[in-house]
Amino acid sequence: MERPTRQRDTEQEEAEQSSESTGQQTCPECESESITSDGGGELVCEDCGLVIEDENIDRGPEWRAFNHSERQSKSRVGAPTTQTMHDKGLTTQIDWKDKDAYGRSLSSEKRSQMHRLRKWQERIRTKDAGERNLQFALSEIDRMASALGVPRSVREVASVIYRRALNEDLIRGRSIEGVATACLYAACRQEGIPRSLEEVSDVSRVEQKEIGRTYRYVAQELELKMEPVDPKQYVPRFASELDLSEEVQSKANEIIDTTAEQGLLSGKSPTGYAAAAIYAASLLCNEKKTQREVADVAQVTEVTIRNRYQEQIEAMGIH
């Protein structure tokens, strides 16, 4: 015999009150705690089969994760923050394209309205001169990093170093561009991305001597730990630009290792040392390149290559 509707409603309310007090949901029909969700929005009692809720809202994420790191990587609430933007990417941006959502051009009235919105948006994003200077410095870092072809991780590290220099008041009395360039060079060193001072200077608007002085000052004041540059880091890039084989690269690395053990590397430019090793290896592997070709790629002089080459072949016992 079916129970009256009022009685069933009363029992369901009592079951819900009981589940709220214990923290465990129970079935209003049989008071079982074996409640499962079928994934389709239904809560079902495993013992009696009663469908307790048929439109249950799943408030969890649509993705699955099996450990903490996966949950952290898949979790998303807005765009990730980044150190490469002065506001860390937390503010909104208005697109500069005068198009609507369907790609159609805006009317003249709407274009004027969007122009005013963009202008005020930019003013709001940079509240004072300090933020405007930071925005300029980070944009310079991004521009130079793009020209050098370094990964995004280097840009992030360079931005962090610049922010630290700004907080320590190391910018005072120095050009923003000079400090930004020095921070980018330091980031390349820290991340093991071989870029010489000459290469960084080529994409900067600052002289190489100023970059070197500012880099040493920032590294000392911030106590940045820098490992000596390994000439072998330059070998793959130089060999690729010269269209040399893997055999030449291996031989160049062998020359660097053997001669470095004899102390020849001390006080030498890593780029010049790597260039000389590649030149020597190309001769030994019958893939000859001229000293000028190697010098142009490595951005060193032919005299440097000749001097390092003579030292290396004498140390290797090659005549």
Q: For residue 196, what is the DSSP state? A: -
Which domains does the chain show, CATH number per domain? Answer: 5-53 (2.20.25), 129-221 (1.10.472.10), 231-316 (1.10.472.10)
> Tell me, what's the pLDDT at 22?
41
Q: What is the per-residue pLDDT for 21?
A: 42
Smallest CA-to-CA distance from 259 within 272, 277, 247 is with 277
Dump pLDDT digits (tens) for 108-117.
888 888 888 8
Alpha carbons 278 and 237: distance in angstroms, whole number: 11
In 3D, which of 206, 217, 212 has the Cα closest to residue 172? Answer: 217
Give the lowest-confidence range in 99-113, 132-146, 246-260, 270-284. 99-113
Query: Does 188 show up as a binding residue in the annotation?
Result: no
The top-scoring range by mean pLDDT among 46-50, 92-96, 281-285 is: 281-285
SS3 140: helix
CA 158-209-312 angle, to 5 degrees, is 90
The predicted-structure confidence for 152-211, as pLDDT tens digits, reads as follows 999 999 999 999 999 999 998 899 999 999 999 999 999 888 888 888 999 998 999 999
For the stretch 5-14, pLDDT in tens is: 455 455 555 5
45 among the known binding-site residues? yes
Confidence label for 87 from pLDDT (cuts 50, 70 and 90): low
* Predicted local distance difference test score (pLDDT) of residue 103: 83
Q: Cα separations (Å) of 63 from 69, 73, 81, 294?
A: 14, 11, 21, 52
Ligand-binding annotation for 27, yes or no, is yes
Give the confidence band of 266 by pLDDT, cuts at 50, 70, 90. Answer: confident
The owner of tokens 């007090």 is 21
Query: SS3 sequence, 222-253?
Result: CCCCCCCCCHHHCHHHHHHHCCCCHHHHHHHH
Q: Is 30 annotated as a binding residue?
A: yes
pLDDT at 220 over 80: yes
Helix (H) / strand (E) element for 61: namely none
Would you place residue 2 in the very low, low, confident or very high pLDDT band (cuts 50, 70, 90)?
Answer: very low
